[in-house]
Structure 1
């Protein structure tokens, strides 16, 4: 359905325009796979919406409207969204949800209403949501939950009501009647009493219950209300010494495997009873207990079934040799943030089954061989301590260790013997230390290491074969060091290395000059050398391209060089035949050589953002022709003035184009048509011209059903100045549309109308038009004559106007009578017209050089063109001079009705003196006498005599 752009701008500032089978978004973002399936993920978060955006694409399956300013949800907000599966409306200001507002969401599975201002769950709130499985109402103002409000949610598995104002379990009856509920979160409410008698019946199926941060003073279970419960969180619940804990039968909580009692105040005399309530617990958290006494608590807590124990924030500054004796069966021990300063060699003697040990964020300075007694250890976390040195024996006997975390310590040097026994180590994190060199550190392995992180250290050089023994290494992180020199074969031996990170060092083009720097690493897939000091002075070919050995490389990042790369040599990417992603942003590049990508035929993503591509020839169509598979390009903040280079670039597979923050003014139809698979277009913050030159783009942006123009309503006009700052979407492109159908209609209608008018005039007004034509010519000639001469002396007494067929009568009778007998001087065509002069000029001269004009009227005279000219000129003289200068002589009988086509003639006959030639047999003497008198009439004679309308 076609709508004007102005309409959609007014409608909600807009949002979305839904077409029959497509979509169009202005302030939201769509995420979908490259192979479009029709299922949309729509993100409208952080857009300052004050109501639900509408209309929304009907095929949306995931909708995020979080972090806006929506106050309520109306009944019509989600109509037609039956395909929706995930809905996130969290972090708004919703206080009211109308009944049945969600009823159209029949396929909804996840609903997030957290962080709003909802006070009550009404009976019809969730009506129609039969498929809902996850519900979040945490961080609201819930005080009441009406009965039967959860009755229709038969598939509900997860409910979060944390951080509300619920105070009594009786308010949860509707929730506790959900048949298949598995996880229920009730933390940080106002429950002071938890009594099983407040729950109507056993709640089968519930596996996880969170009651943390409630001010409980009573915890009583007189019935087995949670027969399937596996996880119970009671952290920060018991803050008084008088807390009443009563479990009628310890078998009631026999199924609980994980319990969290952290940050409570538990009396020693209560501890034993509480621990007996969880006979089968395997994982327990006792973090931050008030008045924690390690030996007593651990003696009570470490049951034969316990396998995991959290003891964070308990101020265990010293780990003595008998502290963990009761916990011999532990597999997992967390001692984070206890201020541990010292460990004894025998501190972990009894924890031979320990698999995971975390002592992070403490004050350890050395290990003192304390870990040798843990042969089964697989995860060791020692980060955020103050360790400076590692001895060769610190990790002796830890042959099963898989993950070792030593980051954020103060380690300076690492001897080659430190990791010699860690034959199964897979991950080693040494970042954020003070390591100066790795020369010799990994001479003996570990041979199975897959990830080595040395980021943020003090390394200055990578020498040849430094990592040769790490032939299983897949990821090597060396970013944020001071690496300047990289020797040939520095990474040789890393035959399985796929990811190499060298960002934020001091690497220059000289560091990469030797083509063997990356030799011996045939399987690298990703290389990051961004934020270094690589720079080239020209685009000339390099003698030794730096990546010639990296034929398997897929991702290369060279962006943000600290000295500005300026130029990319034409063969800089030589050897990268499988490169797919190339990041070259923020390099101050002014242009690219046309052969730059001739070595990377499989490139699919190109980032050239934040460069200086102000020249129109900086990017040419030929540059892109070798990379026809490109499907994403980023050109933001590059000073681009035009995208015309895309027209002939042959980028038929491009799906995402980002060119925000440029100087683009016009987007023409050819550019868009050259990108047939375009799905996402981002042109924010450009210098758009708001006139008809952009009308096609504006119209297309709203009507397209395959491409989304990101944040369309944020596009502003820059030109003309009168519209600067106005929304591009508000420009009415409809006014620019040329309706060719309408023009053709008007044109054809005009032709038909003119044809009819001309036919009508020709048939009914032919002679009037002829008369008007000659009248006009006479008028012109009369004016011309006046300009030439104003004299009153006449050359002739009369000009005789007649038709050629009357010439015998004129010569035989008229001339002899008037010239011979009466001595008058007549002007005749054949005798007195000047040869070679225009006929009309001769007529004018003859009339104005004669005292009178005599028109001999016959039928032939009326049909003659020249006779008409003569009588018209004479008429003008008559009307202009107001004197008796015209004499009409009818030589034939012409009835008045036959003069109708000759309007002027008829008018003259009615007003002017005229004579009728005698018929044969009649006396002619009177006729000639009257004619002589008419020709001799003086200029000052009475008008009544001249214009009598009768015979003289």
Structure 2
């Protein structure tokens, strides 16, 4: 499209007052899409520095996250009507006030998050309209007052989080406890010092199942009335820190349904703690973190005697060696000993736990796998990550044959015995990432028949040997991103017939072979680089044959793999490819035929590839592409028409390109703002790099109207207007000059006539003589002696009677309107005179305006009608009126002057229809003529 055409289209859009939709070009938010095209729209407005709710939120959005902004209040009109909105998060703002009824248009809302704001009260109509709300999080505000009817509209509410507020007494929560479907209530870290059910004065039981009063300075926790018959969990962690907490539940039947207790860092005296644990008959899950003082005093003796206990969490306690008193907890199925700074598991302490299925030893200081683990034959999940393990031997997992998940990441394992995993026949997930392995030593050749996920990244293995993975025929996911890799032997991945996802870092040489992976769906390839991200070794193009067998490949990621643009035949054998990422490659010479073999491509990431143009998109077969990322390239000017070749595009990311902010990008700016299909992510954050005076400013802030002020375009418009004006002026002068002149004087006469009518002045003369100076002798010698001398008429002549110093046009007008008649003495000189022409034009206007016989035409010469044609008004008068001819009078001048007298004596009646010169009997033979039948 040419520059002029582009600007004309822009001008047309401005003239039509276009109001572009911002549904897809959001200033501070992005729309998150999932792979499912029918999925709900999720709006992400995190960290947008927003001071108010954006006005451009799409109407059909289902989730909006406005957390971590600067919003100070919610007005009634801010949220409007979002009929599909189910999730709304306003966390971590500065909201101090919400208008009543602000949520009335959110009938489908199920979750409302407003934690970490500055609310001080909950008014009666605050939550009006939220009848389907199930989760309300208003934790960490400054709420001191709750209206008795504040929760009246929340008939479906199940979870309420009110922790870390400023409620003064427990009775403030009474309206919440009356909710019919309430299950989870958090009220910890408020200002009341006691929780006593007798203060609630409820006559009905609550449906509450989870009660969280953690982080409170409670002095009394008392349940003495049966208002919580369904209560299952009590979290009383970090309570009573300033004084000892009193636990007052005299009737243990009130806790008959309690299955979980959280007592982390609780100031219950040791004896009280024992009583509490002895009073619960159905306890299944107990958390005791930061309770080492009581544990050292023998609390575990009481704990292990709870017959129903299945899960024990002792994390965040400090003891180098776990107490042997755990021996009596043989009934446990889950044990969490993470982050306890444990250096060794006391021999025999957990050996008796024959039912244990989950053991968490993460974040300790274990230098070897505890011996007791060998006897845990029922163990299914074992987490030994973030320890100091050095090696794995054949007996470490001797009897753990039911193990399905084993996490050994972030240790110091440098040695694997070949028989280390031979007994793990049911293992499905193995994580050995972030260790010090330099070789696998055949550890994967035995056992591991059911392994599906294997993580080996960030080790020091330099060679992937043939046969390393040949026994892993069931593995679906393999991560071998190894920084020190320098060789991949032929057929290194042989035997992995079910591999679907492969993340691998490859060395830069020609002996690369990852063929044979027929079921592979996702391939992520990295090449070794230096600290600056540059290739190590000699650059070359990756041979295309390595992808030939991957006919099921759906996702391919290549980061710093291709030195130059990939060969167009690279993906000839991967027709199912849907997601393609190529980064850190020089794509300045890009062949669009690369995409032709992959018509199903839906997602394309070409970030950091030195792209300078997007013309290749118009030549590619990308009809179903919906997600396109082109960030951090070298794009300066973008032709928006290239996106017409991507009919399914819904997501476009161009962040980090050095845009040029001038008229060359006007079309792209208009497209970003007005298109209603493609979301240009963070478009309002795109900055200008060129020209220098615009550097750092926002691309979409560029004033596109300023493009109309450049010199070239102004010259074009000016010259066009000048040519049109010249042609129009020439046309008017040649064809319409007399009509315009006549119209102008007609207008002046009209104005004068209006003034005269208002004044109603009498006529001063009988006739005004309109003649040319060349005919002045005839007027003075022939006309005046007869009309003034013999017949006695009062005549007005311009040489004699015009007022000196007065404008000529005014003298003419006054003369015509101050005389009863106007006699036009017509000759060829008369017709050529400008002033005579004006006189007859005004006289004719008076004739037709007043409908009176005020005009007498007297021809001194015979002038054919066709010679009157240039004098448009004269010709029309001659055709319609009888006139007098001096030449035809001949020797009968007396008859001629008699006819003139009769014309001057004619009445001025507007309804008179007789011939104004001859009377009822018709014209005299001499001196009278009509041109009714003549037509020039």
- State the TM-score, normalizing by the size of structure 2: 0.71
Counterpart CA distance in 2 for 1:387 and 1:717 is 52
Post-superposition Cα deviations, 1:678-717, rounded to whole Å, max 9, x if no partner, equal 2122233444444554333333322221112222222345
CA distance in structure 1 between the partners assigned to 2:344 and 2:557 by the alignment: 48
Deviation sequence 1:827-858 (CA, Å, 0-9, x none): xxxxxxxxxxxxxxxxxxxxxxxxxxxxxxxx
Distance 1:753 1:113, change over 3 A: farther
* Distance in 1 between residues matched to 2:250 and 2:52, nearest whole Å: 52
**Do the aligned partners of 1:114 and 1:138 also contact (CA within 8 Å) in 2?**
yes
Q: What residue in structure 2 maps to residue 507 of structure 1?
A: 507
Q: Aligned with 1:324: secondary structure?
A: helix
Alignment match, 1:835? none
Kept in 2, the 8 Å contact 1:212–1:235? The answer is yes
Give the 3 Å change call, closer, same or farther, for CA 765–456 of structure 1 in structure 2: closer
- Rounded to whole Å, the distance in 2 between the matches of 1:705 and 1:38 is 18
**Counterpart selection for 2:552 from 575, 578, 581:** 578
The 3 A distance-change label for structure 1 pair 210 and 565 is: farther
Corresponding position of 1:128:
129
| Equivalent residue number for residue 597 of structure 2 | 626
Name the CA shift for 1:586/1:459 in 2 (closer, same or farther; >3 Å). closer
Per the alignment, do residues 522 and 590 of structure 1 end up closer, same or farther by CA in structure 2, a change over 3 Å counting? closer
Aligned to 2:615: 644
What corresponds to 1:812 in structure 2? none
Helix, strand or coil: the match of 1:342? coil
**Partner residue of 1:600 out of 574, 577, 586:** 574
Pick from 366, 370, 373: which aligns with 2:372? 370
- 2:523 is aligned with 1:527: yes
The reply on whether 1:189 has 2:160 as its aligned counterpart is no
> 1:388–1:765: structure 2 CA closer, same or farther, 3 Å change rule?
closer
Aligned-residue offset at 1:477:
3.0
Equivalence for 1:431: 433
Alpha-carbon deviation of 1:604? 2.8
**What is aligned with 1:217?**
219
Q: SS in structure 2 opposite 1:482?
A: coil
1:709 corresponds in structure 2 to 680
Q: 1:930 matched to which residue of 2?
A: none
* Alpha-carbon distance, 1:118 to partner: 1.4
Aligned counterpart, 1:79: 80
Counterpart CA distance in 2 for 1:242 and 1:523 is: 63
1:479-878 to structure 2, matched below 5 A, reads 479-480=481-482, 482-503=484-505, 507-512=507-512, 515=513, 518-519=515-516, 521-532=517-528, 561-562=535-536, 565=539, 567-569=541-543, 573-586=547-560, 589-614=563-588, 618-718=589-689, 723-733=694-704, 758-761=734-737
The answer to whether the 8 Å contact 1:566/1:587 transfers is: no
Q: Deviations over 1:203-254 (max 9, x none)?
A: 4221111111111111111112211111111111133664221102101111
Q: In 1, distance between residues paired with 2:462 and 2:355?
A: 41
Match of 1:313 among 299, 311, 316: 316
Other structure's SS at 2:375 match: coil
In structure 2, how many angstroms separate the alpha carbons of the residues matched to 1:893 and 1:220? 132
Give the Cα–Cα distance (whole angstroms) in 2 for the partners of residues 159 and 456 of structure 1. Answer: 43
Structure-to-structure mapping, 1:274-289, within 5 angstroms = 274-289=276-291
Contact kept? 1:108, 1:131, Cα under 8 Å: yes
TM-aligned CA deviation for residue 193 of structure 1:
0.6
What's the counterpart of residue 171 of structure 2?
170
Tell whether the 8 Å contact from 1:63 to 1:87 is kept in structure 2 after alignment: yes
- Distance change in 2, residues 1:26/1:34 (3 Å): farther
Distance 2:401 2:293 in 1: 38
Q: Tell me, in whole angstroms, the C-alpha distance in 2 between the residues paired with 1:764 and 1:313.
A: 102
Query: Partner residue of 2:779?
Result: none
Match of 1:422 in 2: 424
CA shift at 1:71, angstroms?
1.0
- Indicate if the aligned counterparts of 1:657 and 1:678 stay in contact, CA closer than 8 A: yes
Aligned equivalents of 1:86, 1:603: Cα separation in 2: 34
Distance 1:532 1:606 in 2: 20
Deviates more, 1:433-442 or 1:720-729: 720-729
3-state SS in 2 of match to 1:477: strand
Quick one: distance in 2 between partners of 1:289 and 1:385? 22
Aligned length: 738
Looking at structure 2, the residues matched to 421 and 902 of structure 1 have their Cα atoms a distance apart, in angstroms, of 119
Secondary structure class of the residue paired with 1:292: helix
Gaps of 5+ in 1: 10-15, 535-558, 767-858, 864-891, 904-919, 922-952
Deviation by residue 1:463-519 (Cα, 9 ceiling, x = unmatched): 22223333333333333353323323333333333333333xx7232441xx4x554
TM-superposed deviation, 1:721:
5.4
- Tell me the alpha carbon deviations over residues 422-466 of structure 1, each in whole angstroms, 9 at most, x when there is no partner: 222222323333333222323431322223333333323232222
> How many angstroms apart in 2 are the aligned matches of 1:730 and 1:240?
57
* 2:44 equivalent to 1:48: no
Kindly state the Cα deviation for residue 62 of structure 1 after the two structures are TM-superposed.
1.0
Name the counterpart of 1:396.
Answer: 398
User: For the structure 1 residues 149 and 895, does the alpha-carbon distance in structure 2 shift closer, same or farther, using more than 3 Å as the test?
Assistant: same
Q: Return 459-468 or 751-760, whichever deviates more.
A: 751-760
* Higher mean displacement: 378-387 or 254-263: 378-387
List per-residue Cα deviations over 1:135-163 (Å, max 9, x = no partner).
11112222222221111100111111122
Alignment of 1:343-358 (within 5 A): 343-358=345-360
Is residue 392–residue 417 contact of structure 1 (8 Å, CA) maintained in 2? yes
Partner of 2:835: none
Matched residue, 1:937: none
In structure 1, which of residues 293, 296, 306 is the aligned counterpart of residue 295 of structure 2? 293
Change (3 A) 1:750 1:277: farther
Deviation track 1:769-808 (CA, whole Å, cap 9, x = no partner) reads xxxxxxxxxxxxxxxxxxxxxxxxxxxxxxxxxxxxxxxx
Query: How large is the RMSD of aligned CA atoms in angstroms?
Result: 4.0
Partner of 1:106: 107
Matches of 2:692 and 2:457 in 1, distance apart? 51
Query: What is the alpha-carbon distance in structure 2 between the residues aligned to residue 262 and residue 53 of structure 1?
Result: 42
* Alpha-carbon separation, structure 2, partners of 1:560 and 1:610: 9
Structure 2, unaligned runs of 5 or more = 1-8, 714-718, 743-826, 832-858, 872-889, 892-936
1 CA distance for matches of 2:830 and 2:404? 124
Question: For residue 258 of structure 1, what is the aligned residue in structure 2?
Answer: 260
TM-fit CA distance, 1:733: 4.2
Is 2:156 the partner of 1:160?
no
Alpha-carbon separation, structure 2, partners of 1:718 and 1:349: 67
Structure 1 residue 350, shift from structure 2 partner: 2.9
Partners of 2:436 and 2:536 in 1: CA distance: 23
Q: What SS class does the counterpart of residue 298 from structure 2 fall into?
A: helix
Q: Whole-Å Cα distance in 2 between the matches of residues 241 and 573 of structure 1?
A: 69
Q: Which residue of 1 aligns with 2:93?
A: 92
| Matches of 1:112 and 1:229, distance apart in 2 | 24
1:17/1:151 CA distance change after superposition, 3 Å: farther
CA contact (8 A) 1:39 1:60 kept: yes
**Counterpart mapping for 1:9-20 below 5 A:** 18=21
Greater alpha carbon shift after TM alignment, 39-48 vs 300-309: 39-48
Structure 1 residues 471 and 249, CA gap change in structure 2 (3 angstroms): same
Following superposition, the deviation at residue 112 of structure 1 comes to 0.9
CA distance in 1, matches of 2:828, 2:579: 92
Q: SS where residue 92 of structure 1 aligns?
A: coil
- For 1:218 and 1:360, the matched residues in 2 are separated by 35
TM (norm. structure 1) is 0.70
> 1-side partners of 2:632 and 2:91: how far apart?
31
Q: Aligned equivalents of 2:42 and 2:215: distance in 1?
A: 35
